[in-house]
Amino acid sequence: MKKQGLIIIGLIVFVGLIIGLTYVSHYNKIVKLQEEAKGQWANVESSYQRRMDLIPNLVNTVKGYAQHEQETLTRVIEARSKATSITIDPTKLNASNIEQFQAVQNGLSSALNKLLAISENYPDLKANQNFLELQAQLEGTENRINVERMRYNETAKLYNAYIKYMFQKIFFSGREELGYFKAEEQAAKAPEVKF
């Protein structure tokens, strides 16, 4: 009788140990995926910060050649100011916060595109070596931003999928999905070209 009791206790301990180890393993995987997403978010922010750092030099260079383009320069400065004021706590990377962040960054991109477009009106500016270097650096930074956003979306997708698995739904419910970067609405429309 004692032997059967010890076997039953041993089985209960063994099953409890298996359940406990499974729980810990799944919890650790969630933490790992969440930390990877936070780390990738830091890379996104770093890329955007690089763009922010280039803007004052670009504005000053353009200012020297295009004094009567003050309105465009002001828009870029204001858009940069808005963009630097929006930060997201890495523990709150939900869809709403990402959307808000992206909207402000898109506003800055739009202002920068207008600033670069005015350079067409100023041949001396287009030939300025400093302007050309800043423009090339900005283009490279925009590419880095795109790459980092895609990488963030991939890590967010892995995390979001993992927290939807049955075991996680039962034992780790209440975890919020991470938001994604999405294409701008006008990106879905093909530009109309007329000859």
User: Which residue from 96, 91, 87 is spatially nearest to 48, judged by alpha carbons?
Assistant: 87
What digits encode the pLDDT tens for the residues 44-90? 999 999 999 999 998 888 888 877 778 888 899 999 999 999 889 98
Between CA 160 and CA 170 the distance in angstroms is 15
What digits encode the pLDDT tens for the residues 99-133? 999 999 999 999 999 888 888 888 888 788 888 89
Between CA 44 and CA 147 the distance in angstroms is 9
| DSSP for residue 174 | T
At 192, the pLDDT band (50, 70, 90 cuts) reads: low
User: Which residue from 173, 176, 153 is spatially nearest to 165, judged by alpha carbons?
Assistant: 173
Name the amino acid, one letter, at 188: A
93 vs 123, more confident: 93
- Domains of the chain: which residue ranges? 35-174
Is there a contact between 64 and 179 (Cβ–Cβ < 8 Å)? no
The dihedral built from the CA positions of residue 145, 148, 154 and 155, taken in this order, carries a sign that is: negative
Q: What is the pTM of this model?
A: 0.82
Indicate the class that CATH gives domain 35-174: mainly alpha
pLDDT value, residue 140: 94
Q: With 70 as the cut, is the pLDDT of residue 9 above it? A: yes
What digits encode the pLDDT tens for the residues 146-177? 999 999 999 999 999 999 988 888 888 888 99
At 189, the pLDDT band (50, 70, 90 cuts) reads: low
Between CA 125 and CA 132 the distance in angstroms is 9
At 1, the pLDDT band (50, 70, 90 cuts) reads: low
DSSP string, 21-80: HHHHHHHHHHHHHHHHHHHHHHHHHHHHHHHHHHHHHHHHHHHHH-GGGHHHHHHHHHHH
